[in-house]
Amino acid sequence: MHVTSPASTDSVPPQLSAGPRPAPGPAADEGLARRLRALACTAPLHDLDARKANLAGEYSVYGMAEVALAAIDLVTLNMDFDTGADHEQIVARLIPRIAAQAPRRPVAEHERVARWVLENLINVGSVDRGFRAVYGTFAPDGSYVRRDYDFKLIEEVPGYGGSVYLRTTDEAVNVLVGALDTDVTSAQIAAEVKLDILISRGRLADAQLAAEQARYRTVQYSESLRRALDATRRNVRAVDWLQAIPDMIAEALDHVADRYRHENAILTNIRKARDETEDPGHKRRAAELVDIVKDCIRRHTQLQSRLLEAGPLFRAEQDRQVFATPMTTSGTDLYAHLLAPVLPLPVEQALRVTDAFFARGTGLRTPGSVRVGDLVDLLLTPPAEREHLGAEMPEPDLIATPDDSRFSEEQLAAATELLDLPADAPRRLSGLLAEARRRDPDLPYLVALLAVHAASPPVGTAYRQGEEKLLFAVDDGTELDDPEFGGADLIVGTALLDAAGMAADRTEAA
């Protein structure tokens, strides 16, 4: 009580003396309103911890606000150029953190917590799927007005094929992810320069923070661009293609080229840091950094391909829209004359316009008229059974194909066994053929075939599949002396491959 009393004596008197004294200036009040709104954005998070007691079960061990902030971070990081983050994926990635908070609880409960937090951040229960906070300000005439502030933290957006994705709103990013309400380009440059320095000094913890901030900005950047390109597609004349858009595209392309170079350089640096460092913590952090920077590069590439599409799109739309024969009759400009003026109106007035449009713009419906006789029949008809599984599949009529293989499975096994040579003892093909002939008169053909194939071993495939050894054959000029075969007496041997080393190379190259 005593702690809060100084604050309340500061704020209460102006309100009480609003009559005789002029109300505080609008500028001061505006700042207050802004802070009140920022404060309101954090309320749903506090609310989660307050309401977890109401859940059926013992949920007080979970830090709900922590889970909520983690969810907002995850959604922000997974937002893509076209879509948002996938709902299920966010739940899955939240679970490890929730599990760490209460490791003894069942996984189903962890998942329930994740879904509960996510649904509450969307606020699924409300019509608008958002939050509302009420705050008070002084109007210019000195009267005190209570206002509704509506905001969202995570919103759902339509994706491909009717799916729904999640996106964090500007409010959530500004208040909860960090004060990112700055110029995107300059902020990104600053962050990346910082990253460079941090890595060269080996301060990886800070470097990771900087890299993540850089990625937030990259996301913001592509988000802004997506909106710009959408506007371009809509109406050519509505967009300034003489100056603004070409400038923006050039700027963005420069940006992409610049960042791409930069991030590749960073990538090389971090890799070096990762490979040279002794400390496992550093090693892991550096590996995470590699992932983050790779993701940045991926986003830039995506952005660039969008930018390249913009020019042809403009020319096609220009052809369609501008070079058509001009019309002599004038029409209503539905957007400029109707939609645009209606939107800023108060709802009460706007309703009159939209109602008028609706009444005349929806066409006609022939009213249904029912006879009592039909109605009785209709009501007595049993509902048609709905087929949940669709029509029954006909049993496929399979025809057994004759086995026309040249060699049998046993022969292949015998040949493979014969060619399973120790790495340090290669053999001549002539010897192998002789040994094969002793076992089975047909076997030499298979052995010869395999040996010839081994003359050009599939090194690339073996490398990709991580094989540990590989059969090879080399011709050293010796003539083959055999009753059935002619040609070179190949030296057949087995080469051991460094599977672990190759795996490491592969992940790095990817």
Partner 1 sequence: MTEYVDRSEPDVVPAAPSAPVPAAVTPADAADAARLVAFGLQPKLQPARDQEYADLLRRYREDPPFARLADAVATGLGLVVLEVSPRAGMAVTAAEDSVFAVRMGDYARRAATDSGDRFLHGLAHLAVAAMAFPRPEDLADDAYIGRVTVNGVDSFVRQACRRLEERAAEQGENTDPASDAPGLEAAWRIWHRRSSAGATKDARRLPGSTTGIVGKAVAFLTDSGFLQRTGDDAGGTYRTTARYQLQVRDMAGSAALAELTELGIVPVTDGTAALLPAEDTDDLDLVADAGLPFHS
Which residues from 354-393 bind partner 1, rule CB under 8 A? 354-367
What are residue 495's DSSP bridge partners?
470
Between residues 69 and 184, which has the closer beta carbon with respect to partner 1?
184
Rounded-to-integer distance, Cα 338 and Cα 60, Å: 54
State how far the Cα of 267 lies from the Cα of 294, in Å rounded to an integer. 8
Residues 47, 49, 156, 258: which binds partner 1 (CB under 8 A)? 156
- Site for partner 1 contains 352 (CB under 8 A): yes
Nearer to partner 1 (CB atom), residue 166 or residue 415: 166
Residue 263: closest CA among 201, 214, 312, 200: 214
Pick 305 or 335: Cβ nearer partner 1:
335
228 binds partner 1 (CB under 8 A): yes
Residue linked to tokens 């809060």: 4
503 lies in the binding site for partner 1 (CB under 8 A) = no
Q: Which is nearer to partner 1, 209 or 248 (CB)?
A: 248
505 binds partner 1, rule: CB under 8 A: no
For position 164 contacting partner 1 by CB under 8 A, the verdict is: yes
Candidates 73-81, 96-104, 234-242, 261-269: pick the segment binding partner 1 (CB under 8 A).
Answer: 234-242
Q: Which of residues 259-298 bind partner 1 (CB under 8 A)?
A: none
To partner 1, the closest distance from the beta carbon of 393 in angstroms equals: 24
String of DSSP letters for 17-30: TTTTSPPPPHHHHH
Contact 97, 67 (CB under 8 A): yes
Rounded to a whole number of angstroms, the minimum distance from the CB of residue 499 to partner 1 is: 44
CB of 26 to partner 1, least distance (A): 8
Candidate list 8, 17, 30, 181; residue touching partner 1; CB under 8 A? 30
Q: Which among 206-214, 340-348, 399-407, 487-495 is the span making contact with partner 1, rule CB under 8 A?
A: 340-348
Q: Does 104 bind partner 1 (CB under 8 A)?
A: no
Nearest in space to 432 (alpha carbons), one of 410, 450, 453, 409: 450
Options 28, 43, 50, 238; binder of partner 1; rule CB under 8 A: 238
- Backbone phi and psi for residue 272, each to the nearest 5 degrees, phi listed first: -60, -45
Scanning 6-14, 210-218, 237-245, 459-467 for contacts with partner 1 by CB under 8 A, the matching segment is: 237-245
CA neighbor of 423 nearest in space, from 469, 389, 459, 489: 469
Does 35 interact with partner 1 (rule: CB under 8 A)?
no
Q: Given candidates 142, 158, 178, 441, which one binds partner 1 under the rule CB under 8 A? A: 158
Give the shortest CB-77-to-partner 1 separation in angstroms.
20
Could you tell me which stretch among 149-157, 207-215, 262-270, 489-497 binds partner 1 (CB under 8 A)?
149-157
Q: How many CA atoms lie within 13 A of 20 on its CB side?
A: 3
Nearest to 245, CA basis, from 257, 255, 258, 236: 236
Q: 119 or 196: whose CB is closer to partner 1?
A: 119
Toward partner 1, which CB reaches closer, 62 or 151? 151
**501 SS3 class:** helix
42 binds partner 1 (CB under 8 A): no
Among the listed residues 427, 400, 414, the one whose alpha carbon sits nearest the alpha carbon of residue 493 = 427
Between CA 339 and CA 295, with CA 155 as vertex, the angle to 5 degrees is 115
Q: Which two tokens stand for residue 432?
A: 């192998």
Stretch that binds partner 1, among 211-219, 245-253, 266-274, 486-494 (CB under 8 A): 245-253
* Residue corresponding to tokens 């509902």: 383
CA atoms of 191 and 478, how far apart (whole Å)? 66
Query: Taken in order 135, 138, 141, 144, is the CA torsion positive or negative?
Result: positive
Query: CB 131 → partner 1: shortest distance, Å?
Result: 10
Q: Tokens for 436, please give them.
A: 């094969």
Nearest distance from C-beta of residue 381 to partner 1, angstroms: 24
Asked if residue 299 lies in contact with residue 222, where contact means CB atoms within 8 angstroms, the answer is yes
Strand 427-428 versus strand 144-151 pairing type: unpaired
Instruction: Please identify, among the stretches 8-16, 197-205, 260-268, 344-352, the one whose residues bind partner 1 according to the rule CB under 8 A.
Output: 344-352
111-130 residues near partner 1, rule: CB under 8 A: 122, 124, 127-130
**Minimal distance, residue 255 CB to partner 1, in Å:** 10
- Site residues for partner 1, 395-424, by CB under 8 A, read none
CA-CA-CA-CA dihedral for 115, 121, 124, 130, to nearest 10: -170
The least CB distance from residue 449 to partner 1, in Å, is: 52
Q: Which amino acid is at 495?
A: A
Alpha helices in 62-106 (DSSP H): 64-78, 87-101
Q: Is 137 in the site for partner 1 (CB under 8 A)?
A: yes
With CB under 8 A as the rule, give the number of residues binding partner 1.
Answer: 93
d(CA 170, CA 181): 9
Closer of 191 and 462 to partner 1 (Cβ): 191
Q: Residue 330 has what DSSP assignment?
A: -
447: Cβ contacts below 8 Å, ≥ 6 apart: 415, 418, 419, 429, 432, 433, 436
Helix/strand/coil for 166: strand
Is residue 31 part of the contact set for partner 1 (CB under 8 A)?
Answer: no
The DSSP string of 462-481 is HHHHT-SEEEEEE--SPBP-
Q: Which of 53, 54, 100, 146 is close enough to bind partner 1 by CB under 8 A? A: 146
Residue 187 binds to partner 1 (criterion: CB under 8 A): no
What mask of x and - would describe binding to partner 1 in positions 297 to 336, judged by CB under 8 A? ------------------------x--x-xx-xxxxxxxx
Site for partner 1 in 436-465 (CB under 8 A): none
